[in-house]
């Protein structure tokens, strides 16, 4: 969500003019071409933490001489405006020293808004160490007098313990007092506090309530945050149309995040009618405001012909624009076109650079492709030791192909000491993550006993799976393995599959495999248990099979009838429902296989797993990333 980070944004409410704007801070000024008030208008509300709102109706350029004269004559408001103008560089070069001195002079005269702004400037420039007892005392007095900016800033200091002894209850009460007084930034900060649960207990209902109030008060940020609460059902019933209405209000008010969210929801069509044309329009408007995420998604739209005629030359133009603007997704997409010379001049050097930058920004594909660039010397000098470093980074980011490639590197000892055990573990992870090269590598390791004991049954199983996906060497090795089948194995073909054989086949085809870092799986064929660790939590599946009754068929296969009972860590054995099933079994490659179970698994993958994998892949370029301080954002720049 579009968070306001309390420990920064509350300070920035006072210090953004001096600092030039930090992440999460409001713009320093929103200057109007035709100001409606003179600089000394009594209608300007100084009791606020929102400097942009405070100064938006004053033309600093036109009033420079008048403000300077009034400041010299001792007018407190003029001194404060002059400090803001000097700190913000509105009249030329910034003069932070004079700006601070002017604000301190105004604060020492007893003006509560000046006390708030001066404390905020000191925090922005020096941090909590710069807050003297006098500054804190003035801030306390301003808060006690009802200055909402002071309440909000002091509340943040008390919650975080920065500049004041930690007192969470009092800090929250002060911010709520400012919010109850109509301070929109206080409403947003309360929403963020309750949503993240960083300094107070998490409460999505309270968070949504404050975001709604900020939205109703006209805050585009509140519209975005309340829209996301509605979209994901955080503290309020999930309501996509209502979320879209919030996003649209924010987008029409010019909020960039609202435009991005509105475009994303329209393009996905989850809970509403999909509207690629509408999504394209809002992505275009967001891109014009500098959104690198929107630039990347415009590239995707043109590449796939979504909402517009397919035009890959235009797609690469947007990818390049997004890459130059900093999007790691756009960098990956642009690099593919540059490397292959698709609709743009081939440039492997720039492609390698973009892959490296994307990898440095946490993108697995970028890290993997830069590793390959280093390994083969494409666009960069060949450096296999550094390639291994980048392959490891890609593996840590969950890149499956990097697992099998790095396994091969450890197997051969390319750029790293040969390590058969590490190669086996990498092949194992890759194979269980549905990677064909990993399946072949695991079969090869079992076949020759590389990093593990020789196990021709497992070797045949993994070779067969890789061969089914078109892996030519796996097909050849599987044929060789068949030739190695012992006479004892051949004799066993005429014997019906036993209980262990049936249970093992059941478990093989009902196993979901592993997803490194998320889901790890080990199968105990003897006990009939699939041990899973999901995000560190154990979650096991249990398979109980009755003694099979098997009938030999004319083609040498067996049809076996038995009772299957399944349960898991959540569903107890007592609630499991036994089911009688009948499956075909064939002995080949040293073990009993079941074509009917394989067909059931294939149908399951066709109708559920693969479509969902493709959907997730399509969403990857547009997904939210996790922010370092909690929460998520649809923008694809690092937080």
pLDDT digits (tens, 9 = 90+) for 528-580: 787 776 555 667 888 889 999 999 988 888 999 999 998 887 777 887 889 99
pLDDT in the model for residue 529: 80
pLDDT in the model for residue 536: 57
pLDDT in the model for residue 46: 80
Measure Cα distances from 38 to 72, 180, 377 in Å: 18, 29, 65
Q: Are 376 and 342 in contact (CB under 8 A)?
A: no
347-354's contacts with Cβ under 8 Å and 24+ in sequence apart are 348/373, 348/378, 348/379, 349/379, 349/380, 350/379, 351/378, 351/379, 352/378, 352/379, 352/380, 353/379, 354/323
pLDDT in the model for residue 608: 65
Q: Are 505 and 464 in contact (CB under 8 A)?
A: no
Residue 324 CB contacts under 8 Å (≥ 6 apart), including other chains? none
Closest CA to 58 of 29, 87, 80: 29
Is it the case that residue 519 has pLDDT exceeding 50? Answer: yes
Give the percent of the chain with pLDDT over 70: 82
H/E stretch holding 559 reads strand 558-568
Q: Are 257 and 294 in contact (CB under 8 A)?
A: no
H/E stretch holding 421 reads helix 420-432
pLDDT in the model for residue 589: 59
H-state helical runs in 305-419:
312-325, 328-340, 348-360, 364-376, 384-396, 400-412
Domains of the chain listed by start with CATH number: 1-157 (no CATH), 334-492 (1.25.40.10), 499-588 (no CATH)
Rounded (10°) CA dihedral 33, 36, 41, 44: -80
DSSP 515: B
pLDDT in the model for residue 355: 98
For residue 312, count CB atoms less than 10 angstroms from its CB and return exposed for 0-12, middle for 13-18, buried for 19 or more.
middle
Q: pLDDT tier at 49 (50, 70, 90 boundaries)?
A: confident
Q: Which residue has the tokens 């799986």?
A: 521
Is it the case that residue 264 has pLDDT exceeding 90? Answer: yes
Report the 10 Å Cβ neighbour count for 555: 7
Residue 512 CB contacts under 8 Å (≥ 6 apart), including other chains? 519, 521
Q: Which of 542-556, 580-594, 610-624 has the highest mean pLDDT?
A: 542-556
Is it the case that residue 626 has pLDDT exceeding 60? Answer: no
pLDDT in the model for residue 638: 30
CA dist 403 and 368 (Å) reads 10
CA dist 107 and 511 (Å) reads 69
**In a 3-state reduction of DSSP, which class is residue 175?**
helix
Measure Cα distances from 468 to 168, 463, 594, 595 in Å: 61, 9, 15, 13
Is it the case that residue 381 has pLDDT exceeding 60? Answer: yes
Average pLDDT score over the chain: 84
525-533's contacts with Cβ under 8 Å and 24+ in sequence apart are 525/500, 526/500, 528/503
Is it the case that residue 362 has pLDDT exceeding 60? Answer: yes
Measure Cα distances from 172 to 7, 47, 119 in Å: 13, 19, 19
CA dist 358 and 332 (Å) reads 6
pLDDT in the model for residue 520: 65
pLDDT in the model for residue 34: 43
Q: Is the dihedral of CA 162, 168, 171, 176 positive or negative?
A: positive
pLDDT in the model for residue 513: 57
Is it the case that residue 605 has pLDDT exceeding 50? Answer: yes
pLDDT digits (tens, 9 = 90+) for 472-511: 999 999 988 887 764 445 444 567 888 888 888 887 776 6
CA dist 13 and 509 (Å) reads 58
pLDDT in the model for residue 3: 23
């Amino acid at each position: 969500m579009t968070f306001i980070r309390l420990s920064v944004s509350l300070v920035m409410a006072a210090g953004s003019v001096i600092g030039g704007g930090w992440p999460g801070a409001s713009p320093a000024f929103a200057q109007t071409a035709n100001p409606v008030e003179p600089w000394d208008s009594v209608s300007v509300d100084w009791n606020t933490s929102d400097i942009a709102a405070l100064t938006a109706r004053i033309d600093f350029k036109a009033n420079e001489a008048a403000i300077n004269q009034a400041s010299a004559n001792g007018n407190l408001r003029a001194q404060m405006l002059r400090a803001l103008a000097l700190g913000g560089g509105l009249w030329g070069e910034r003069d932070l020293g004079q700006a601070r001195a002017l604000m301190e002079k105004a604060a020492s005269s007893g003006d509560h808004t000046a006390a708030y702004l001066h404390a905020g400037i000191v925090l922005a420039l020096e941090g909590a160490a710069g807050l003297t007892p006098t500054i804190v005392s003035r801030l306390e007095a301003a808060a006690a007098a009802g200055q909402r900016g002071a309440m909000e800033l002091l509340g943040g200091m008390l919650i975080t313990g920065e500049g004041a002894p930690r007192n969470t209850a009092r800090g929250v009460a002060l911010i709520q007092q400012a919010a109850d007084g109509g301070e929109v930034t206080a409403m947003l900060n309360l929403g963020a506090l309750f949503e993240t649960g960083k300094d107070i207990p998490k409460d999505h209902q309270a968070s949504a309530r404050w975001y709604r109030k900020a939205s109703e008060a006209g805050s585009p940020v509140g519209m975005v945050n309340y829209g996301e609460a509605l979209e994901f059902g955080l503290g309020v019933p999930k309501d996509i149309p209502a979320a879209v209405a919030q996003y649209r209000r924010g987008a029409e008010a010019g909020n960039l995040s609202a435009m991005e969210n509105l475009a994303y929801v329209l393009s996905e069509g989850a809970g509403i009618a999909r509207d690629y044309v509408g999504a394209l329009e809002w992505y275009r408007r967001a891109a014009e405001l500098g959104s690198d995420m929107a630039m990347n998604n415009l590239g995707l739209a043109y590449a796939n012909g979504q909402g517009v005629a397919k035009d890959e030359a235009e797609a690469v133009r947007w990818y390049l624009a997004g890459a130059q603007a900093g999007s790691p997704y756009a960098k990956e997409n642009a690099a593919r076109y540059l490397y292959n010379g698709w609709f743009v001049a081939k440039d492997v050097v720039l492609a390698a650079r973009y892959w490296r930058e994307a990898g440095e920004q946490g993108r697995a594909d970028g890290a993997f492709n830069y590793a390959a660039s280093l390994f083969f010397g494409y666009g960069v000098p060949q450096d296999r030791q550094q390639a291994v470093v980048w392959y490891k980074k890609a593996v840590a980011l969950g890149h499956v192909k990097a697992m099998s490639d790095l396994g091969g590197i450890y197997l051969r000892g390319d750029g790293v000491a040969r390590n058969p055990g590490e190669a086996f573990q990498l092949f194992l992870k890759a194979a269980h993550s549905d990677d064909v090269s990993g399946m072949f590598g695991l079969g090869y390791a079992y076949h020759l006993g590389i990093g593990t004991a020789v196990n021709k049954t497992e070797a045949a199983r993994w070779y067969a799976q890789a061969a089914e996906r078109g892996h030519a060497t796996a097909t050849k090795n599987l044929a060789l393995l068949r030739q190695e089948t012992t006479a004892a194995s051949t004799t066993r073909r005429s014997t019906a599959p036993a209980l262990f054989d049936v249970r093992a086949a059941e478990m093989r085809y009902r196993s979901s495999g592993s997803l490194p870092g998320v889901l790890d799986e080990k199968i105990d064929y003897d006990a009939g248990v699939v041990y899973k660790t999901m995000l560190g939590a154990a979650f096991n599946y249990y398979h109980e099979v009755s003694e099979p009754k098997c009938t030999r068929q004319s083609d040498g296969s067996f049809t076996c009838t038995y009772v299957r009972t399944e349960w898991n860590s959540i569903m107890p054995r007592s609630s499991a429902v036994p089911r009688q099933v009948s499956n075909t079994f064939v002995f080949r490659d040293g073990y009993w296989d079941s074509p009917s179970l394989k067909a059931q698994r294939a149908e399951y993958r066709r109708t559920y797993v693969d479509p969902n994998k493709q959907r997730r892949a399509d969403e990857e370029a547009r997904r939210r990333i996790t922010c370092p301080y909690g929460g998520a954002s649809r923008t694809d720049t690092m937080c």
